[in-house]
Amino acid sequence: MDVGPNIEEVETPKILQKAMSIVRSAEREILATMDLTEEIKAPLPTEYFSLLEEKMGMGVQVTRLAFGSLDEFKLLLERLKVKSANYKCILAASKDYKRMLLIDGKHLLFARESKKGRRFFYTTDPRYIRKFSRYFYQELRVGNQ
């Protein structure tokens, strides 16, 4: 993928820092996808989940769409034990996993696979945000049935 004028490539070591930065800016909603196999093997740091809990306490809706098996999903739910009315974690029905984090429909962090491996990008471009938002809600509808 060519990096356009409205897209910034984020170096792998700086992904968590960038994710935390845009999560801090959340006022309404946080939409995120996750690969359950990756999440179970290498969970996100507790500081990330603490920030999510802080945001949920402020009324921000967090919706995570999980890709993987039902057994992996159950294991993740046991580990996380998030108890907030502002948190939803749903198992996706499809295998069409696209790594993304979308904040308030304004800030998008996403990954693409390339010959060089996984590359991460950040954008506020409405075209990319619409594309990933449509993908997320389509997967959410199918997984929520």
pLDDT tens column, 70-127: 999 999 988 888 889 999 999 998 888 999 999 999 999 999 988 888 999 999 999 9
The verdict on pTM exceeding 0.85 is yes
Residue 13 amino acid letter: P
Rounded CA-CA distance 106/93 in Å is: 26
Is the torsion defined by CA of 34, 38, 43, 44 positive or negative?
Answer: negative
What single-letter DSSP state applies at residue 12?
A: G
Do the Cβ atoms of 100 and 110 come closer than 8 Å?
Answer: yes
Which residue is associated with the tokens 């984090």?
Answer: 101
Question: Which among 145, 104, 103, 110 has a CA at the least distance from the CA of 34?
Answer: 110
CB atoms within 10 A of CB 112: 12
**Residue 48: C-alpha distances to residues 25, 52, 115, 123 (Å):** 13, 6, 29, 20
Query: Is the pLDDT confidence value at 34 over 60?
Result: yes
7-143 is classed CATH 3.40.50.300: no
- H-helix or E-strand containing 122? strand 117-123
Going from N- to C-terminal start, the domains of the chain cover 7-143
Question: In which band, very low, low, confident or very high, does the pLDDT at 143 lie, cut at 50, 70 and 90?
Answer: low
